[in-house]
A and B are shown apart, each in its own frame.
Chain A
Amino acid sequence: MNGRHVTDRVLVLLAGLGLVAGGLVLLDWEPGRVLDLEPVLRTGSARDLLDRDWWPWAQGGAGAVLALLALWWLLAHLPRRGPTRLGLPAPEGSDRVALATGPLGEVLSERVESTGALDHAHVDFARHRGATTATVRARVQQDADLVAVREAVAEVAAEVGAALAGAALAVQFRVAAPRRAGSPRRSRRGTVRLQ
């Protein structure tokens, strides 16, 4: 679970607990079993605060902080770009070597589609525990069986392992059903091979 999801859960939990607490106070107000509150609400002293010179500043400041926090929270939900480069072990005497993940993803997608068992392939790169990960999403070709799908995936995984040895790239394959009849096909079957 990433940090954003933890923040979401904690904040939603706090909001929920706050509502439960407020609701319980309202529930207990009339019977007064626990809190023994005044039966009539008086807001006079709170209204007196509004007449102080500093009140508008305090209200505006609190509002601005709330709005900025909410904005930060919203922006944190925007989709993040994955890593743009994948580091490779550099040969002795040379500088660092890195592969751009964009073209690598395209080559990987084409290779997956060229197996004949999968199509509509798309690769997303991300970071997980300090390493780069590649999630390959693809659809089963019409009439392909599980043996063909597993062979295709094993073949591609082996080629990635051999071609990017030492890059510590974890690859996961997520396969969905073929598009329903009538959906446009975008197959790029060819003879791409990762070497």
Chain B
Amino acid sequence: MSAPRIPEPRGRPAAATTAVLLALVLLVGGAALVVDATGSGGRERSASVRWVLEQLDGLRADEATTAIGAGVVLAGLVLVVLALRPRRRTHLPAGDPDLWLTPRAAGVLAAEEAEQHRDVLSARVASAGRRRLVLAVVPREVEPPPTLAASVRDAVVEAVPALRSSRVLVREEEG
């Protein structure tokens, strides 16, 4: 029997956090309905529901209800977007055997490779994301060759293939 390939690593769906919040709201609401129905604390049964209905009685359609409607539609659309939003990719593929790197790990390995470049004294990750990596390098010479950034970038992408789908920027800084 061969093992199935494990799916690509991804973050939690945005809907998961929203779902927990919705569940909490439902839990509190359900419990409040039960407590209200039992009439605990010497109150009349269903007193809260009655009070809400009394407050709503006589409510007129006006600008305020229209504004509230717009807000509710907006909130609903936010929930729809959260429900349909795909899960965030958290890693970059680094080849077999099923190896994945976080963008920062790919950046650290790229900085390690950049330091092997003959014109680079040191390198560090300035920022790392799935789509964009910024490396800050300290040139070995006071006046580095004008092609330093391009040649470091080429060397880094060649050495760390996981970065081929990312935009790699090399920034020179003083030591």
Contacts and interface: CB of A to CB of B under 8 A. Distances in A.
Contacts of A17: 76, 80
A74 B66 contact: no
Contact of A8 (B16, B36, B78): B16
B99 interface: yes
A32 B26 CA distance: 31
Contact of B69 (A27, A70, A154): A27
B142 interface: no
A59 B49 contact: yes
Given A74-B27, A145-B112, A146-B160, A19 B37 contact: no
Nearest to B4: A129
A144 to B, nearest CB: 7
Chain B at the A interface: SS class: helix
A70 B27 contact: yes
Given A50-B53, A62-B33, A175 B101 contact: yes
Chain A at the B interface: SS class: helix
Contact of B66 (A30, A50, A62): A30
Contacts of A99: none
Given A16-B78, A56-B45, A175-B102, A43 B56 contact: yes
Nearest to A129: B4
Nearest to B48: A59
Interface residues of A, number: 86
Contact of B19 (A40, A59, A73, A170): A73
A144 B112 contact: yes
Contacts of A62: 30, 33
16 contacts: A8-B15, A9-B15, A16-B80, A20-B73, A23-B69, A37-B61, A42-B58, A66-B30, A139-B105, A140-B109, A146-B113, A149-B99, A153-B97, A154-B97, A174-B9, A175-B100
